[in-house]
Copies of this chain bind each other. A is one copy, B any other.
Amino acid sequence: MNTNLKELCDLIEGTITVGELNLPITGFSSIKEAESGEITFLGNARYASSLKKSKASAVIVDEQFTDIPEGIAVIRVNNPTLKFSLIIDKFGPQKQPFIPGIHPTAVMGANTTYNPKKVYIGPCAIIEDGVEIGDGTSINGGVFIGRNAKIGNDCLIHANAVIKDRCVLGNRVIIHSCTVIGSDGFGYEFAVGKHLKIDQVGIVQIDDDVEVGSCTTIDRARFGRTWIGEGTKIDNLVQIAHNVITGKHCILVSQVGISGSTRLGNYVTLAGQTGVAGHLNITDQVTMLGRSGVTKDIDEPGAYMGYPTKPLMEGRRYLAYPSKVPSIIERLKVMEEKVKQLESKLTEI
């Protein structure tokens, strides 16, 4: 990367408020990692203190931010995070172009439906009988697609992911490596001292524009479908049990677990390591803080936390209640002593 402040400012359609137009810029990086000569950006005012320690030569900030350190050039834009992406797109590592083709080591089943000129199927990928694959889709090396699964257009299935039989993916779905879509739901009937397996004959349906991280598991329904709504984004190591339904545009952060048959509304966010019990309904626009444990329906939009879950402000107070116990005991002791004295005085009277 060999450019200058003015060229970058033109690229992101900003305004230089501090710095020479011809200041050389040799790279881009985060506030903490930036070296001298590099440009960075401030995505959120709460990192202002990091900016003071940054070695960056230039920073992209929004139009309101005022706490600019000495000696750093400044470009102002309305959305620094998005505008910084333009710099990454231009100067960052080149994206791998989509080159269609079926690798000779890929194993293609019978009665599969795809246009070999418009899909990429990588080495040692296994496409079982009856699979349908839409145009523009990449199935990377080592991926397994079970029989009669349907993959839409422009999907990206990363290496060693597994999509089991009959599951259905929409368009522009991204599945990361070692993720398993459609393994059996965890269902048993206890009889004669044993757990007898209940067949899981449903599927997983994943709608358009969903992204699923690595080593995540989404189980097939007992019957019917486990259903991930359009635009939902799922992080790594998330568990989604059988018959769960998520709304549209949900965010499920890493290590979240959702038990069977629970339904999330639209725009629900579950932060990391949150667990949700089974057969619950979570309404639209609910946000759970990290490590929450949800055991009841949630009917009102808003932010929640804790176990059992409470609305955010109440949850914060609740977390602090135990800390008041020592002072309560202290006050109790004082009172008990006073009452004792009062009693003895009264006896004297």
Q: Which residues of A contact B (CB under 8 A)?
A: 28-30, 32-33, 47, 79, 81-82, 85, 88-89, 92-93, 96, 103, 105, 107, 122-124, 126, 128, 140-142, 144, 146-147, 158-160, 162, 164-166, 176-180, 183-184, 186, 188-189, 191, 193-195, 197-199, 201, 209, 211, 213-217, 219, 222-225, 231, 233, 235-237, 239, 241, 243, 249, 251, 253-255, 257, 259, 261, 272-273, 275, 277, 279, 290-291, 293, 295, 307-308, 318-319, 321-326, 328-329, 331-332, 335-336, 338-339, 342-343, 345-346, 349
Give the complex CA separation of A251 and B29 in angstroms. 28
9 A-B pairs with the lowest CB-CB distances in the bound complex, closest first? A321-B322, A144-B159, A321-B325, A180-B214, A217-B236, A107-B123, A126-B141, A162-B177, A92-B201
- Considering the chains assembled together, what is the distance between the CA atoms of A160 and B255 in angstroms? 21
Q: Is the CB of A147 within 8 A of B96?
A: yes
- In the complex, besides A179-B215, A180-B214, 8 extra interface pairs with C-beta distance below 8 angstroms are A93-B166, A124-B126, A128-B141, A188-B251, A213-B217, A215-B215, A324-B325, A332-B332
List chain B residues, Cβ under 8 A from A32. Answer: 261
Task: Give which listed residue, B179, B188, B328, B349, contacts A328 with CB less than 8 A.
Answer: B328
Q: In whole Å, how far is A206's beta carbon from the nearest beta carbon of chain B?
A: 15
Known contacts: A144-B160, A180-B214. The answer to whether A233 contacts B188 by CB under 8 A is yes
Kindly state the separation between the CA atoms of A47 and B85 in the bound complex, as whole angstroms: 49
Contact B165 A142 (CB under 8 A): no
Q: In the bound complex, how far is the Cα of B123 from the Cα of A15, in angstroms?
A: 56
Asked if A186 and B335 make an inter-chain contact with CB atoms under 8 angstroms apart, the answer reads no
Q: Which residues does chain B contribute within 8 Å of A239, judged by CB atoms?
A: 235-237, 254-255, 272
- Of chain B, the residue at the smallest CB distance from A346 is B345
Residue pair B319, A326 in contact (C-beta under 8 Å)? no
A262 to chain B, nearest CB (A): 11
Residue of B144, B194, B338 near A142 (CB, 8 A) is B144
CB-CB under 8 A for A201 and B96, given A164-B177, A209-B194, A243-B30: no
Complex Cα gap A259–B291 (Å): 12
Of B81, B140, B318, B328, which one neighbours A189 at CB under 8 angstroms?
B81
* A122 vs chain B, min Cβ distance (A): 7
Residues on the B chain within 8 Å of A336, using CB:
331, 335
> Known: A107-B103, A180-B215. Contact between A233 and B318, CB under 8 A?
no
Most buried by B among A103, A140, A197, A290: A290
- Provide the residues of chain B in CB contact with A219, threshold 8 Å: 213-214, 236
Of B144, B186, B308, which one neighbours A254 at CB under 8 angstroms? B186
Question: Is the CB–CB distance between B253 and A186 below 8 Å?
Answer: yes
Do B176 and A184 have beta carbons less than 8 Å apart? yes
Closest to A316 in B: B308
B343 touches A338 (CB 8 A): yes
Of listed A33, A146, A236, residue having the most chain B CB within 10 A: A236
List, in ascending order, chain B residues with CB within 8 A of A81's CB. Answer: 189, 198
Contact call B324/A28, Cβ cutoff below 8 A: no
Closest to A222 in B: B30
Least Cβ distance of A268 to chain B in Å?
A: 12
In the bound complex, what is the Cα–Cα distance between A87 and B45 (angstroms)? 59
Are A324 and B331 interface neighbours, CB within 8 A?
no
A286 to B105, CA, bound (A): 49
